[in-house]
Structure formats: structure tokens, C-alpha cells
A and B are shown apart, each in its own frame.
Chain A
Amino acid sequence: MDVLDIARWQFGITTVYHFLMVPLTIGLGILVAVMHTLWVRTGKPEWLRMTRFWGRVYLVNFVLGVATGLVQEFQFGLAWSEYSRFVGDVFGSLLAMEALLAFFLESTFLGLWIFGWGRIPKKLHLAALWAAVIGSIVSAYFIIAANSWMQHPVGVTVGEDGRPQQVDFLAVLTNNTALAAFSHAIVAALMVAGALLVGIGLYRLRKRKLAGAPTTDVDDTVWRRSVRLGGYVSLAAFVLVAVTGDWQGKLMYAQQPLKMSSAEALCETEAPAPFSVFAWGKLGSNECDDVHSWTVPGLLSFLAHSDFETAVPGVNELQEEYAAVYGETYPDDPSFGDRAGQEIDYTPVLAVTYWSFRLMIGMGAVSAGVAAYALWVTRRGRVPTSRIGVYGALLAVCAPFVANAAGWVFTEMGRQPFVVYPNPDVPVDEQVWFFTAQAVSPGITAAEVWTSLISLGLLYGALAVVELFLLVRLARRGVTTGDTTPTPPAVGSSRRDDDDPRPGDDRADDDVLSFAY
């Protein structure tokens, strides 16, 4: 593999990994803030315990999201310096604004929330959490606006140096691609959080029932509420995921037709165009005509244009159109490295686009199904004891994570070979575009990128193991006594009631922190 390939793998791995933490941070953050609000408003103990328990889960995950997000801020410069130079007039300012307007809010107020229990007025303490959660959401908006500008560059003209020059910042911020992608990402994040509440909640309920625990105490309410809240949130979010996804799909047909036709492995232009349910043949050859699939007639026309008649252009035709406009081969320029002068394949990797698109939809549907199951088996005070059902729901916590990752893999792989996709709404001579092949840093060596890929990969793997271990342990422990009081114990007092106090240790003073974890 050359520097370009290694750098692409590194970006893909680190970004997908980062985006395992992000949706949980956003989704669970919103739900914990809702729980905390309900506790402040009603004073009911179950909402406090839910806030504390789910707050711990939130924090264990939050910090890994923050830590892996650091890499994102730097790797555009490290491995993609030519890209950074090219898009500098637009892209960097969005990242800087994300840091200034969102990250400060998020991290400062989260610190205040963690350490503020019992120390600042109740409502101010609640406001601190909301400020942190809003910070996460604002952060998502800026980074998605940056990504959407790469998918659909707006608000720029071609500068004298051939690079995009920003002329309309508001157009960049209100890019319709960004609005659709942002809303889709936020509701998808809620599906992740909902699935976690459902999975762990059902597991705890079943465990309590098998242990003969009372079904009327506060802890029972905690888990029942968690399952019901998670189930309803998942189902509602699923509907919204479909609505926003449809919006995004229609934009994609207009803005990046090759991405969507590749998602369907639709070779020839068809009217009405069918939706493929399952494909076989040689997707891997990237020759569209080697692929066969079972289809639903007319459905693709509907997804693209809201009717069952209109033609949808096929991959083969689009490939020729793009080659005619953007060139049959890469320019014979040293900035393209080994790829200079070689033929350009405008079709993304079909096997990846086709299956990641289906994985995204399929896993989203699995999550919705599990949520419906959970609501059904817990109706009117029932508790499920089915091992398959409950452990299935626990396993299905993975489903919306996979769906999120698959969605990003689809949208990022689907826009290849471009890193900045030409905007078809403007005349060709006013378009800006940039090939991935010319984006990589020219000065760095393969050995350097291998070193970072391997060291980051190993570290990320190890951290994933620890995070999973911590989350599993939290789930197994459930609500602990530390979750039942909003005030941290005074140092040295006997108000602490943890499981096994050992003489002579200093856990009391450290509890100031540990209550939150």
C-alpha cells in the first residue's frame, strides 16, 4: 500500500471508531439531561437514580469520544496537508468555530456537572448539564456542515489560485446537505441511546425478577422507566431517521447521483427504476454489469423523485458523463503521485456502497423491532423472562452503532474518487472539486503513516476493551447506593455506604469524584 492507501485506512478507522462514541454521547446526553430535568421538577427518587446510573455510562463513554476526537482535529494537517491547503478558506474555520463555540461549552460545563453535585444550586447544576449537551449538538452541527461542504460545496467561487474562495458563509452554514445530514445524525444518535436503555433495562428487570426482587420499589421503577423511555425514543427516532434519510436520499440523487446509483448497483438508466433488495454476482469486480439483484419495481424512482415513473440514471451512463467533464485520466502532475496519468474510476467500490447502505437500513430496522418488542413485553407491568428475548435485546444494542458506522462508510466511500465533490448546481467552470488522490501530504513517508496507523490502532483496540469492560460492569452492578443521594458525602463522615470500606484508605475523599462514575 502506498501513503495514500494507508492514510485512507487510518482516516477511516479512526473516524469510524470516533463515531462509535459520538452518537452515544449525543443521544444519551440528551436523555440523561431529560432524566435530570424530571428529577429537579418532580423530586422523585427514580429520576435521580436514573440520572446517576445513566450519567455514569454517559461519562465513561464521553471521555473516549473526547480523546479520539483530538485525532480528528490534527489528522487533516498531518496526513492530508494538500487537502487542508485546498479547502483552507472554508473548512478550517468550521473546525475552529466548533472548538470555540461547542467544545468549550461541552467540556467546561461537563466538569461543572460532574463536580457540582450538591455544591451549586440545583437548577444551575441542571443547566450545566444542558449546556454540555447543547455543546455536543452544536459540535455535531459544525462538523457535519464541514463534511457536507465536502459533499456539496456551496458559498464559494474559484479563486485565482484555483482553490475555493469563500464568498457566502451563511450559505455554507445553511447548506441543505448539512441540514439533512445533521438531522439524520441526531435522530440516529437517539436510536443508539434508546437501544442501550432498552438492552440494559430489560437485562436488569429480568435479573431482578429471577432473583425474586420486589416489583414495586424504586429500583424496579428505574429499570422499567429506562426500558419504556428507551423503547419510545427508539421508535420515534426510527420514524424520524426514515424521514430525514429520505430527505437526504433525494438530495443525494440530485447532488451525487453516482453515490446513490452505486448504492443500488443500478447499471443502466431505468424508468421506472427498481429498488434492489439483494444482489449477487461480482460486486467486487466493480463492473456494474456483473451484478444481478432481486428488485422491487419502481421503488427507486419513488425514493429519488417521489413518483414511481421517473428515470434514474445508471452507473454506466454516469461514469461516462463524469469522465467527459472531469477527465478520463488523472492529470499528469506530480501531486497525484503514482496515480498521475492513470484512468479515473468514478464508480465507488460497489460492494461497499451497496452493502453498507443495506446494513445501515437493516440494522436501523432491527433496532426499531427490538424497541417494539421491549415495549410489548413490558406492557402493563409485565417483566420478560425469556433468555433469548432479553439477551437478544442486549446484543441488539450493537445494531444502531453498526447502522451509524455503515451510514458514514456509505456516504464517505460513495463520494470517491472525490474528496471534495463537484456541485452540479453551478456551471462546470465555476465548480470546485478535489480528488482524494491529490489530497495526501506529499512530504510524509509510508513508514510514518504505518507507525501512526498501527500505534493508534493498537491503542484504540485496547481502549475499546477497557470501555466495554467498564460498561459491562456498570450494567451488572446496576444502581448502587452512591446513586441514591444527590450530595457527595462530606470528607471523613460516615454517610458513605459503599460496598466494602477498607480501613485506612482514602476513598472518602476520592468519592467526590467517584460518585459520578
Chain B
Amino acid sequence: MDLQTLWFAAVAVLWTGFLLLEGFDFGVAALLPVLGRRTADRHLMLRTIGPVWDGNEVWLITAAGAVFAAFPGWYATWLPALYLPFVLVLLGLIVRAVAFEWRHSSHDPRWDAAWTRVITGGSLVAAAGVGAALAATTLGLPIDADGNRVGGAFAGLGWSALLGAAAVVGYSLVHGALFLALKTDGPLRRRARAFALRWSPVAALPLLAWAGLVQLRSGTALTGALWLVAALAVVVTWTRVRLDREGQAFAGWATVLLASAATLFGSAYPVVVSSTVDPAFDVTIAEASVSDYTLTVMTWVAAVGLPVVLAYQAWTYWVFRRRLTAEPQSEPVVA
């Protein structure tokens, strides 16, 4: 495998890792008004993601950084073409981040409720925006031969962006519910399970549609098989939720994402930005990439750094592995 392909795979892994990890943070945040009936429930929900959301968000920064580092031609085409959606994502992420921390600064219930709403809103905006951006880069952006957007500020926002937004939001909602079912106990756990049971078949549709469209355009037999795995994983997840097997359901739902993302990126390869103006204007990894020297340096740094990061992030999940509960007189909340 050449270095450019390796780094295309690395970038795909980073975006997928971001969606997998931050996906349940987004989902839990979006479900606050749905599943969090009492303030205590909402606080419990936030506690499940409290120690980890910030580390998960770094996957986004690393993914964007890796796009810039390995494929500046992709970075410099993709971001300005979707200028306003990306700004919206940033605004959402900013308010969400400060809300997570500043929420605790007062015991006034109105203060707390206001910041909790900000967490929900910011997370939804960010999830939708990231989904729109990823769908636009795989399904097509109106770019000319120089990689510049044609058609004005909103030209990049078509049905594909909407589909991507629905895909990431839908996926995250069920992902968050399954995470809550796994991490909490009591009524909240039951409500989360019920939500996942009801919505998982529907919530996966936009994601499967998006992956299917890229597959139809430029997929191979292998990516086609992966798409089937993703579709099958939705069914498996649903049956596992029905049987109250939360761990297996969570793993099944994670497989939906992993297989869909593999279909998406695998089918899109080697195109990183597809042009809706003329397929000849597609940006490929060869055009977008940095030199082999720089890719080699980065490969060494990532080969040493990434396993260490994965190890200590996994370890923090292990430290905070216990189920949480809002019931009083229980054992201390976290191990």
C-alpha cells in the first residue's frame, strides 16, 4: 500500500473514530429533553459523558488536522466550499464545550437548565453540520478545476448535505440511547432501551442511504459487501435490544457505523472531493497529497503516538466503567 492510500485510510479511521465516540456524546446531549424527564435524570445523563466528551472531541481536531497534514488540497477545497456550515459547526461546538463546564458554576436551577439546553442545541448543530460536510465531500460539491466553489455561499448545501446531517443526527440519537442503556441503571436505562428499540431501524436509514449512494456511484464488490454488513448490523442491533442485551446491541450499532464508514470511504477512494460540476474536477488523493517525505515523517509519529493515545483513552473508559444511577443511598457513583 502506498503512503497516500495509507493516509487516506488513516483519515477515514479518524473521522469514523470521531463519529463513533463523539456520536454518543451528541446523542446523549440530544436526548436530554427526550429521556431526561427530571432534572436528576438529565444530570445523570450528563455524568455518563462528563469525563470523556472532551477527549472524544479531540478526534475531530485530529481528523481535521490529518486532512490538512496529509491532503492540504482536500482541506483547502472542502472547507471554503462549505464555509458557513463549518462556521455553524464551530459555533455549536464552542457553546457546547463551555456549557459542559460552566453549567456547574451555579446552583441556580435556571442557570443549569439554560446551559443544559445549550448542550443539546450545540450538539445537534455540530452533529448535523459534520454530517452535512462529510456527505458533501463524498457525494459531491460544486467545485471548478481549481478546486474553488462555484455558485455562491449556499451552493454546497444540497440534498446530499441534508442527507448527511440526517444520517449523523439519526445515528447519534440511537447511539446515545444505547450508551445510556449501557451506562445507567433504573428507569432511565429502561427508557433509553425503549427509545433504541423503537427508533433504531428508522435512524439508520439515512446513513445506509448515503453509504449506498456512494457505493452505487463508485463502489466495489468488497464495499458492497460491507454495506450489507451495515444493513445486517441494524437488524442484529434491533434484536439484541429486544432481548435486553445492551452490550451486544451497542456493539451491533457500532458495527453499523464502522461498516457504513468503510463503505463510504472505500467507495469514494481515491477521490476526496467529488465535483458535481464535472467529474474531471474531482480532487484525488494524488493531487491533494503532501510529499512522500512528509507522509513518512507523519507515519512514524502516528505509529508511535496513536497506540499510546488509544491505550490511555481506553483506560479512562475502564476507570469510569461503572453504571451510574440517580437513586439516592446507593454506592458511590463511579468506581
Contact = CB atoms under 8 A, between A and B. Distances in A.
A108 B312 contact: yes
A428 interface: no
A34 interface: no
7 residue pairs, one from A and one from B, having the closest CB atoms: A88-B72, A77-B79, A492-B328, A92-B68, A443-B148, A96-B65, A96-B69
Interface string B122-144: 00000000000000000000000
Contacts of A442: 146, 148
A78 B94 contact: no
A111 to B, nearest CB: 4
Given A67-B98, A491-B330, A99 B146 contact: no
A81 interface: yes
B152 A74 contact: no
Contact of B54 (A81, A92, A110, A119): A110
Interface in A374-427: none
Given A76-B68, A88-B68, A119-B335, A111 B104 contact: no
A107 B328 contact: no
Most buried by A among B44, B54, B313: B54
Interface stretch (B81-89, B175-183, B273-281): B81-89
Given A109-B312, A452-B84, 8 more contacts: A60-B102, A63-B102, A84-B68, A103-B62, A115-B334, A444-B149, A456-B91, A506-B326
B58 interface: yes
Given A99-B61, A99-B65, A455-B87, A506 B39 contact: yes
B290 A89 contact: yes
Interface string A476-517: 000000000000101110000010100001111110111011
A116 interface: yes
A463 B91 CA distance: 12
Nearest to B63: A99
B270 interface: no
A81 B76 contact: yes
A98 interface: yes
B284 to A, nearest CB: 15
A81 B80 contact: yes
Nearest to A501: B107
B290 to A, nearest CB: 5
Nearest to B332: A490
A508 B93 CA distance: 28
Interface in A97-137: 97-101, 103-105, 107-112, 114-116, 119-120
B208 to A, nearest CB: 29
Interface of A: 59-60, 62-64, 66-68, 70-71, 73-74, 76-79, 81-82, 84-85, 87-101, 103-105, 107-112, 114-116, 119-120, 159, 165-167, 169, 441-445, 447-449, 451-452, 455-456, 459, 463, 466, 470, 473, 488, 490-492, 498, 500, 505-510, 512-514, 516-517
22 contacts: A70-B90, A70-B93, A76-B68, A84-B75, A89-B294, A92-B68, A92-B290, A94-B69, A96-B70, A99-B62, A111-B55, A115-B334, A166-B297, A455-B87, A459-B95, A466-B102, A491-B330, A491-B332, A507-B107, A509-B43, A512-B333, A513-B46
B334 A517 contact: no
Interface residues of B, number: 83
Nearest to B151: A443
A74 B92 CA distance: 14
Nearest to B326: A509
Pick the most buried of A87, A110, A166, A512: most chain B CB atoms within 10 A of its CB: A512
Contacts of B62: 96, 99-100, 103-104
A95 B63 CA distance: 11
Contacts of B333: 490-491, 509, 512
Nearest to A124: B319
The A interface is mostly helix, strand or loop, or mixed, namely helix
A79 B80 contact: yes
A371 B198 CA distance: 63
B301 A100 contact: yes
Contacts of A505: 39, 109
Given A74-B79, A92-B72, A108-B316, A510 B305 contact: no
A444 B83 contact: yes
Nearest to A445: B153
Contacts of A115: 50-51, 320, 334
Interface in B241-263: none
A472 B18 CA distance: 36
Contact of B329 (A59, A444, A470, A491): A491
Nearest to A101: B305
B83 A452 contact: yes
Contacts of B293: 165-167, 169
A134 to B, nearest CB: 13
Contacts of A104: 55, 58, 62, 309, 312-313
B145 interface: no
Contact of B57 (A107, A114, A498, A500): A107
Contacts of A516: 104
A98 B65 contact: yes
Contact of B68 (A67, A95, A103, A445): A95
B59 to A, nearest CB: 9
Nearest to A487: B332
B47 interface: yes
Contact of B298 (A96, A109, A445): A96
B268 to A, nearest CB: 19
A66 B97 contact: yes
B94 A100 contact: no
B43 A78 contact: no
Interface string B199-222: 000000000000000000000000
B214 to A, nearest CB: 22
B69 A95 contact: yes
A76 to B, nearest CB: 7
Nearest to B88: A455
Nearest to A512: B333
A517 B81 CA distance: 40
Contacts of A116: 319
Contacts of B329: 491-492
B23 interface: no
Contact of A100 (B78, B152, B294, B306): B306
A101 B53 CA distance: 18
B302 A77 contact: no
Nearest to B64: A73
B93 A67 contact: yes
A443 B81 contact: yes
A168 B302 CA distance: 18
B10 to A, nearest CB: 10
B298 to A, nearest CB: 5
A251 to B, nearest CB: 25
A442 B150 CA distance: 11
Contact of B70 (A85, A92, A114, A167): A92
Contacts of A60: 101-102, 105
Contact of A513 (B47, B77, B94, B302): B47
Contact of B58 (A103, A449, A488, A514): A103
A455 B102 contact: no
B226 interface: no
A454 to B, nearest CB: 11
A77 B78 contact: yes
Nearest to A164: B291
B13 interface: no
